[in-house]
Amino acid sequence: MDNKRKIIITALGILAIGGIIIILLLPSKSKLSNIDFYVFDSNDNYHYEVNEKLEFMINDTAAVKGRKLLWQMGNSDAISDKSNMEYSYGSPGKYLVTLKIDNSYTINKYIKVISGTERAARIRHATAASRWESAAKEKENRTDRLSDHSHPRSRRSGSILFHGTSETDLHNQELSRKCSGNEL
């Protein structure tokens, strides 16, 4: 009876371990919930442009191996069974890109494809903004130099800085000028 018991316990242990291994190897929805895709532009300027090759990449190709994949590009084009692929859009616009896995799990992302003229406008805007920031920094630096209290003739009255003359001094000078000219 002792040997029979050992054999039964060993058989149950092997069955339990085998069951656990089978469960781990079976595809499950929890793996799919971690799936996502990314879009990369070929010239690395972070703008998706008309006729530019865009790379669509799934973050975990092993999890989708052997599954049915369908990419819907948002412009009535569809591509099947590619985990990573390249695609170019022929016209500017906002597109809803959809990845369907086994017709049961769906990932959606909007992308905006811009024209060459729109890209040029964005570059001009970025350049103008950069120039504006530089001018603002230069103005700030000049203000900092003017408000340097170590200068022997600098005084501050309220929030206004007067070199050599305070606001009160200016008022007194004007009163004195009016008095001397009999303007009172």
pLDDT in tens, 98-155: 999 998 899 999 999 998 766 566 666 666 667 667 766 776 666 555 555 554 444 4
Phi then psi for residue 69, to 5 deg, are: -115, 140
Q: What distances in angstroms separate CA 100 from CA 35, 72, 76, one per listed residue?
A: 11, 8, 15
Q: Which of 62, 58, 63 is nearest to 29 (CA)?
A: 63
Q: What would the pLDDT profile of 29-81 be if each residue is shown by its tens digit?
A: 547 888 999 999 988 888 899 999 999 999 988 889 899 999 999 999 999 98
Q: What distances in angstroms separate CA 125 from CA 119, 120, 129, 131, 150, one per listed residue?
A: 10, 9, 6, 10, 40
Amino acid at 80: S
54 and 42 Cβ atoms separated by less than 8 Å: yes
Amino acid at 44: D
Q: What distances in angstroms separate CA 5 from CA 13, 16, 137, one per listed residue?
A: 12, 16, 84
